Amino acid sequence: MTSIFDSNGKNIPCTVIEAGPCVVTQVKTEEKDGYAAVQLAYDEKKEKHTSGALKGHFEKAKTTPKRKLVEFPNDFKKELRLGDTVTVSDIFDPSLIDWVDVSGISKGKGFQGVVRRYGFAGASRSHGQYHKLRAPGSLGASATPSRVFKGKKMPGRMGGEKVKVLNLRVMKIIPENNLVVVKGSIPGAPGSYVILEV
C-alpha cells in the first residue's frame, strides 16, 4: 500500500497492483467447449517446476511456463488469439475513471475465539468471573433439540477465504510497468495473487 495526493491536496490511501503482462494460453469457443472464455497466464515460473502436461500447454501458446492460470469470460474489447499478450493499457483507459472489483484469498488469522471472529461482546467483568470473559456462552437448549445446530457461531479457523471487494476506484494507471493504483485496501497479503474485474 501507499498514498497519493489528489488535485485538492487530500492524501488518499491506495494499493498498487501489478496487473500484467498476461499471456493468452487458451481460447475456448461455443462450438468446441460449449462456452466462450479466455485463459490468461501470469508470473514467470522455472521450467523444472512445471509438469509435462503444462509444458505442452504453454508451448502451444509459444510462451514460457507461468505460475497462475485464470479463465475469464471472453468479453474483452479486442479479439484475443492464442499467444497474445494482454497489458494494463489494453483493459484500462487512463483518460477515464474506472471502477474495479478485486477478489483474492484473505490473510489467514489462525484459530480464533468468538470475540475476535464474530465480534461477540463477552461477559461482564465483575462478580467473580473466572476465565469466562471471552467465552461464547450457552450453545443451545437441553432436551430439545439435544444437539447444537449447524452453522452456530463458535471458535474456529479465521481468514484464508476468498473475499471480493466491490467498486474500488482506479486512481492511476502506469502502463509502462503494468501497474494499477486503486483506492483503499484489497484482500490478501503483500505479493499474493488477486483478480481484477472491470
Angle (CA) 41-44-47 rounded to 5° is: 105
Torsional sign, CA 29, 41, 85, 75:
positive
In tens, the pLDDT along 70-111 reads 999 888 778 888 988 988 888 887 677 789 999 999 999 999
Task: Give the per-residue pLDDT at 155.
Answer: 95
- What is the CATH number that goes with domain 2-108+164-197? 3.30.160.810
Dihedral of the alpha carbons of 143, 149, 154, 157, in degrees to the nearest 10: 140
Q: Provide mean pLDDT across the span 50-75.
A: 90
**Please, where in the chain does CATH 3.30.160.810 lie?**
2-108+164-197
Beta-bridge partners for 164: 103
Q: Provide mean pLDDT across the span 52-78.
A: 89
Q: Do 86 and 80 form a contact (C-beta atoms < 8 A)?
A: yes
Q: Do 102 and 196 form a contact (C-beta atoms < 8 A)?
A: yes
Q: Is the pTM of this model over 0.75?
A: yes
